[in-house]
Amino acid sequence: MMKTTYYAKNNEVEKKCYLIDAKDKILGRIATRAAAILRGKHKRIFTPHVDTGDVVIIINAEKIRVTGKKMVDKEYQRYTGFPGGRKIVTLEQMLQKRPEQVLTLAIIRMLPKGSLGSHIKGKLRVYTGDKHPHQAQKPVLLEL
């Protein structure tokens, strides 16, 4: 008798809450670990088309580090929709204005596109400073 492949169902998945302190951590390493947890790849029941991931809370987003000359060289582009409306911001400028956006973009761009990715994005919370309003969820501190 052959074994069949196990597929997780939405109502069978047990959700946890993880807390990541980004202070003096490298941007890419935080982002890859957070994306894997949001997706559910750290669980044995991982199923590609089902949201098996957990909630991720990141604090101290303004204190991340990057290697090399990325502070000056890395650029974020967006387009306003008007002629000549391309806006370019460096990583250094983005960290001064909206530090939580840097981590959010890095993580979201690692997630799948489409309705599953949109659903997974809702489980990511990024905060500047070391305070967050999710104490009731009893987040588990995750060491990177």
- Judge whether 23 lies within some domain: yes
Domain count, the chain: 1
Q: What is the pTM of this model?
A: 0.92
List of the chain residues with pLDDT < 70: 1
Q: For the chain, give the number of residues.
A: 144
Res 43: pLDDT: 94
Q: Report yes or no: 139 and 58 within 8 Å, Cβ to Cβ.
A: no
Q: Which pLDDT score is estimated for 3? A: 79
Distance between CA atoms of residues 39 and 31, nearest Å: 12
Q: What is the pLDDT of residue 18?
A: 98
Give residue 132's identity as a one-letter amino acid code. H
Tell me which amino acid residue 8 is: A
For 63-104, how does the pLDDT look when each residue is reduced to its tens digit (9 = 90+)?
999 999 999 999 999 999 999 999 999 999 999 999 999 999
Does 88 map to a domain? no
Percent of the chain residues past pLDDT 90, beyond the cut: 93
CA distance 108 to 58: 13
Do the domain assignments include residue 82?
no
46 assigned to some structural domain: yes
For residues 40 and 15, what is the distance between their CA atoms, to the nearest angstrom? 10
One-letter amino acid identity for 135? Q
Q: Is residue 6 part of a domain?
A: no
State CA 40 to chain mean position distance.
12
The CATH number that applies at residue 31 is 3.90.1180.10
Q: What angle do CA 39, 44, 45 make, to 5 degrees?
A: 70
Domain extent at residue 39: 15-66+99-142
